[in-house]
Amino acid sequence: MQSGILQPLPKHGCYLSFDKLPEVTLKEALHCLQQSEIETQHVFGIGPALIPTIAETQIDLATFPAMSGSGVNVPSTQNDVWIWLRGDSPGELAIEAQFLASELSECFDLVHQTQAFLHDSGRDLTGYEDGTENPTGDDAMAAAIVAGQGQGLDGGSYVAVQQWVHDLARFSMHSQPEKDHMIGRRLSDNEELDDAPDSAHVKRTAQESFAPEAFMVRRSMAWAEGPDAGLMFVAFGHSHQAFEQQMVRMAGLEDGIVDALFNFTRPITGGYYWCPPLQGDGVDWSICLGDD
């Protein structure tokens, strides 16, 4: 598998999204990616338009589903390639981003680039610890990585990516107990609050409360650009089912209760990608490229 998926968050991140140029064929685009030198500490995925067909590949990837509920908009802004550069210095990542954009430019347009960083050992910019209930060890592997489906699929992962923009000034106007009830955990000691309302984020997303249980591995990072800031939400699964079950409930589409997060933050992008497995030193493209 791509090792960055299960490793701890890096100090710095840079997210790149690309779209295939219209005149480039699917095969040409896949060859272009195959020849690019994406180093193994980074993570990358391809969107549904770059997957030949489910019947040919068994990769079960759809376009990210837009959703709307009461006062809630979850947009779909699907792209064709997603790259999460991971490293210790923003300079190093900026250089690498330029290098990759130029290397891929024959086949792809760079459409988004966002710098991200590890905030206070993995807290969201609201101050709350993010990732506490992530599965670990073998459970993380089982939740995030495909297994038992054959070569070219095993070791792969499905990632959901959403850029959320926070209104931190609005959030700061709430009292501390109100903030804790929106998240469902106490800021001071990260304890889960039994008396939090049903709209509390961790009540909406409690992984074991879904049928089937909706475990996934979240690897989100804080981002800030000019006056805007928020969370780049990134979740890996052995399918997109867990993310979709949770997003549907957060948007209030299951029981009419909207996640309290929407009081102060909103997603502005949404994409689904397939992160192919590795084989030896490189990516295992066998399933997308056949015998080419």
Positions in the binding site for ligand HEM (CB under 6 A) = 124, 128-133, 162, 164, 183, 185, 201-202, 205-207, 231, 233, 243, 246-247, 250, 261, 265
| 194 in active site | no
Place of tokens 């792209």: 79
In terms of CB distance, is 36 or 76 closer to ligand HEM? 76
If we measure between CA atoms, which residue out of 137, 126, 236, 234 comes closest to residue 185?
126
Between CA 281 and CA 291, with CA 285 as vertex, the angle to 5 degrees is 120
User: In angstroms, what is the minimal distance from the CB of 245 to ligand HEM?
Assistant: 8
Kindly state the smallest distance separating residue 128's Cβ from ligand HEM, in Å: 4
Q: Which of 80, 124, 130, 284 is catalytic?
A: 130
Question: Least distance from C-beta 288 to ligand HEM, angstroms?
Answer: 27
In this structure, are residues 21 and 109 in contact, taking their beta carbons and an 8 Å threshold?
Answer: yes
Structure tokens at 118: 């590890």
Between 86 and 240, CB nearer to ligand HEM: 240
Beta 217-218 vs 43-46: how paired, if at all? unpaired
Q: Which is nearer to ligand HEM, 38 or 242 (CB)?
A: 242
Instruction: For ligand HEM, give the closer residue by CB, 2 or 269.
Output: 269
CB 40 → ligand HEM: shortest distance, Å?
A: 27
Burial 167-199 (b: 16+ CB within 10 A, else e): eeeebeeeeeeebbbbbbbbbeeeeebeebeeb
Closer CB to ligand HEM, 96 or 130, in the complex: 130
> Nearest approach, Cβ of 57 to ligand HEM (angstroms)?
26
Sign of the CA dihedral running 243, 245, 246, 252: positive
Q: How far is CA 150 from CA 82, 146, 156, 250, 286, in A?
A: 24, 9, 11, 34, 11
The residues annotated as belonging to the active site are 130
